[in-house]
């Protein structure tokens, strides 16, 4: 199975009020030392025989704002990774970029360094929404970022949008989608705004400085998103992700399909040989520990079978294609239908105690359908209605 490599760049020019990623603002002078530490961490893993047995099919620079790195800094990390690890011929190499941190020259140099996919954090085409989210750019600068990426020769451009802002009407969200489609990116991620514990935005909500959109309002905007993007040939392949044919993100699919992934950098998470572990969420500690030859791993967990099964189920159901029942059984050692017979019986309103039926469903020779779920072609998947209440359905299996 192909693996994924993730490199976390925690630097941002300014913190956005809704963000709960590990990022720091105004510390760009630490970037050179951080870039060196990332290369050193890659070298540590290169000595591991299991890592050497993997073929990496994706490399993803996420953050933070990876586009704060100069082409030389980014290129140095890519070159080092390619020298130390095995990559597939057609590796998908993505960099997340924030508007205002890139121009045509920088993006062209990224391409020369091997980057073949760019993901731009537009978030909204409405100035007041950008202000509410405390983004550090205007609408025009966001649009410019996409146009510059195209001028630089990128043929695989993704944009991120956020919906369900307080007071956001279907008409206003529709206008956002219209502008997004007009820009013709190959990929669009549309995320429902979430209020994460401890963020400044959540504090403002708790202080009742605004009212969040109702759940019904959120769902209406989600339905609108699916409708409009599908009308423009953006297929929904995961709850929040839409792509033109052939442009689904390979990197994200690796997370959702349970592939091994290696995370490099402060706060980066890895999943290898059924073990999840994560690095220290402090860039100064990360740089110092790396320089001193100390471990940067802050914690780990061996995934228990129940945790792993639920994770495979949850990640599979978020995707349109659903959970591959044969792959589930191969990894977990028991058929999904047997393991979750009780919740499935509730959700389908029928019994799953016939082992011949269960085998036929797993092998793809039978199909059964309820309002919310389908088992078809050897996959368990949500229907259109089910996708809108995915979290509630997953809770049934927990």
Sites for ligand SF4 among residues 22-41 (CB under 6 A): 23
* Least distance CB 211 / ligand SF4 (angstroms): 22
Q: Which stretch binds ligand SF4 (CB under 6 A): 61-69, 108-116, 148-156, 251-259?
A: 61-69
Q: Does 63 bind ligand SF4 (CB under 6 A)?
A: yes
Name which of 249, 244, 217 is nearest 231 in CA terms: 244
Partners of 160 in the β-ladder: 189
Number of residues near ligand SF4 (by CB under 6 A) = 11
Cβ closest to ligand SF4, residue 39 vs residue 98? 98
Sites for ligand SF4 among residues 338-397 (CB under 6 A): none
Cβ closest to ligand SF4, residue 99 vs residue 258? 99
* Least distance CB 122 / ligand SF4 (angstroms): 11
Cβ closest to ligand SF4, residue 115 vs residue 122? 122
Q: Does 19 bind ligand SF4 (CB under 6 A)?
A: yes
* Least distance CB 97 / ligand SF4 (angstroms): 10
* Least distance CB 65 / ligand SF4 (angstroms): 5
Q: Which stretch binds ligand SF4 (CB under 6 A): 15-23, 233-241, 296-304, 348-356?
A: 15-23
Q: Which stretch binds ligand SF4 (CB under 6 A): 63-71, 80-88, 164-172, 355-363?
A: 63-71
Q: Does 99 bind ligand SF4 (CB under 6 A)?
A: no
Q: Does 12 bind ligand SF4 (CB under 6 A)?
A: yes
* Least distance CB 30 / ligand SF4 (angstroms): 15
Cβ contact 245:22 at 8 Å? no
| Residues making contact with ligand SF4 (CB under 6 A) | 12, 15-16, 19, 21, 23, 63-65, 98, 121
């Amino acid at each position: 199975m192909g693996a994924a490599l993730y490199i976390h760049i925690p630097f941002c020019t300014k913190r956005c009020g809704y963000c709960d990623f590990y990022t720091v603002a105004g510390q760009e002078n630490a970037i050179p030392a951080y870039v060196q530490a990332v290369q050193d961490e890659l070298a540590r893993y290169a000595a591991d025989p299991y890592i050497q047995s993997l073929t990496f099919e994706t490399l993803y620079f996420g953050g933070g704002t990876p586009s704060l790195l100069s082409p030389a800094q980014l290129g140095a990390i890519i070159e080092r990774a390619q020298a130390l690890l095995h990559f597939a011929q057609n590796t998908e190499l993505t960099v997340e970029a924030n508007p205002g941190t890139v121009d045509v020259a920088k993006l062209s140099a990224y391409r020369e360094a091997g980057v073949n996919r760019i993901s731009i954090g537009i978030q909204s085409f409405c100035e007041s929404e950008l202000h509410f989210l405390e983004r550090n750019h205007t609408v025009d600068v966001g649009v410019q970022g996409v146009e510059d990426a195209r001028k630089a020769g990128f043929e695989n451009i993704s944009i991120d949008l956020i919906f369900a802002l307080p007071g956001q009407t279907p008409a206003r969200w529709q206008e956002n989608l219209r502008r997004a489609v007009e820009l013709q990116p190959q990929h669009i991620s549309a995320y429902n705004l979430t209020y994460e514990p401890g963020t400044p935005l959540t504090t403002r909500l708790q202080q009742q400085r605004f009212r969040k959109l109702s759940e019904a309002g959120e769902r209406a905007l989600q339905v609108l998103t699916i409708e409009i993007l599908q009308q423009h040939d953006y297929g929904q392949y995961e709850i929040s992700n839409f792509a033109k044919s052939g442009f689904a993100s390979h990197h994200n699919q690796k997370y959702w399909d349970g592939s091994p992934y290696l995370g490099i950098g402060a706060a980066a998470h890895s999943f290898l040989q059924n073990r999840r572990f994560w690095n220290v969420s402090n860039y100064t500690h990360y740089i110092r520990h790396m320089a001193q030859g100390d471990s940067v791993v802050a914690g780990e967990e061996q995934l228990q079978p129940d945790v792993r099964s639920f994770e495979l189920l949850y990640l599979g159901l978020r995707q349109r294609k659903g959970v591959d029942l044969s792959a589930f059984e191969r990894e977990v050692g028991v058929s999904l239908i047997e393991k979750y017979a009780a919740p499935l019986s509730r959700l389908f309103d029928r019994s799953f105690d016939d082992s011949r039926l269960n085998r036929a469903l797993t092998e793809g020779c039978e199909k059964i359908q309820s309002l919310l779920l389908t088992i078809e072609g050897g996959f368990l998947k949500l229907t259109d209605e089910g996708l809108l209440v995915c979290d509630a359905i997953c809770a049934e299996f927990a």
